[in-house]
Chains A and B, each alone.
Chain A
Amino acid sequence: NAGVMQNPRHLVRRRGQEARLRCSPMKGHSHVYWYRQLPEEGLKFMVYLQKENIIDESGMPKERFSAEFPKEGPSILRIQQVVRGDSAAYFCASSPQTGNRRTEAFFGQGTRLTVV
């Protein structure tokens, strides 16, 4: 049973370009979460998605950032017109759909975005 898969592991973009980060959840998991870790900080929640639905995007910057989790395929976090301040590690996590909320989320290895 493969874990949460994120790709690419490392991504370098020039200022103004677009960054696309992909996340395939664990098999059987239908809830996906994206977190960002800036240097020397903890993980900050960005967005929570289920298939074809954004459940909570309270942590997403208002501009340039978007996320989707289509019916087929991985979840995508898109950052348009990247700036140096977007340089961070972006982690995806997934959890099963269950009536019991007391389940832990499993994290991928992250994508390290560097904006030059």
Chain B
Amino acid sequence: DQQVKQNSPSLSVQEGRISILNCDYTNSMFDYFLWYKKYPAEGPTFLISISSIKDKNEDGRFTVFLNKSAKHLSLHIVPSQPGDSAVYFCAAKSYNQGGKLIFGQGTELSVKP
């Protein structure tokens, strides 16, 4: 039962272009969504989040969009940089389950110079 899905295992983008990472969810109880970035042999690092009462949140080069009716969110990185190359995980939590996070499978982003 995969409640959070990232259907693209990998994405390759040219430096300077936009990277768009997608995430779909099935549980309508989710009310808070997060993106984490992970380098090999390290723990996930928090990147950006969005509450279900919003449809957009922006932090520098990173913007997260939420479409509640479609149960879909996306992370935009612009402009992409080689240092952005990592695995990106989408995660969600619901108001009645404390801080428990449900993660997607991850998308490996490769930004080529």
**Measuring CB to CB, which residues of chain A are less than 8 angstroms from any residue of chain B?**
4, 6, 31, 33, 35, 41-45, 48, 55-56, 91, 93, 95, 101-110, 112
User: Which B positions have Cβ atoms within 8 angstroms of A?
Assistant: 6, 32, 34, 36, 41-46, 49, 51, 89, 93, 95, 97-106
List residues of chain B with CB within 8 A of the CB of A93: 43, 101
Main secondary structure of the interface of A (DSSP, over half): strand
Sample (11) of A-B pairs whose CB atoms are under 8 Å apart: A35-B101, A42-B106, A43-B89, A45-B101, A48-B99, A48-B100, A56-B98, A91-B44, A102-B32, A110-B41, A110-B43
Chain A residues lying within 8 Å of B95, measured Cβ to Cβ, are 101
By secondary structure, the B interface counts as: loop
Please give, as numbers and ranges, the residues of chain A lying within 8 Å of B41 by CB-CB distance. 109-110, 112
Across chains A and B, the number of contacting residue pairs, with CB separation under 8 Å, is 65
A59 to chain B, nearest CB (A): 8
| Chain B residues with CB below 8 A from A4, complex form | 43
Indicate which residue in B36, B89, B101 contacts A33 across the interface (CB closer than 8 Å): B101
Contact A48 B98 (CB under 8 A): yes
Residues of B within 8 A of A35 (CB): 101, 103
Q: 6 tightest A-B contacts by CB?
A: A107-B43, A104-B46, A42-B105, A42-B103, A43-B103, A109-B43
Instruction: Tell whether, in the assembled complex, residue A109 and residue B46 are in contact, meaning their CB atoms are under 8 Å apart.
Output: no
CB-CB under 8 A for A107 and B45, given A42-B105, A42-B106, A43-B89:
yes
- Nearest-Cβ distance from residue A49 to partner chain B, whole angstroms: 11
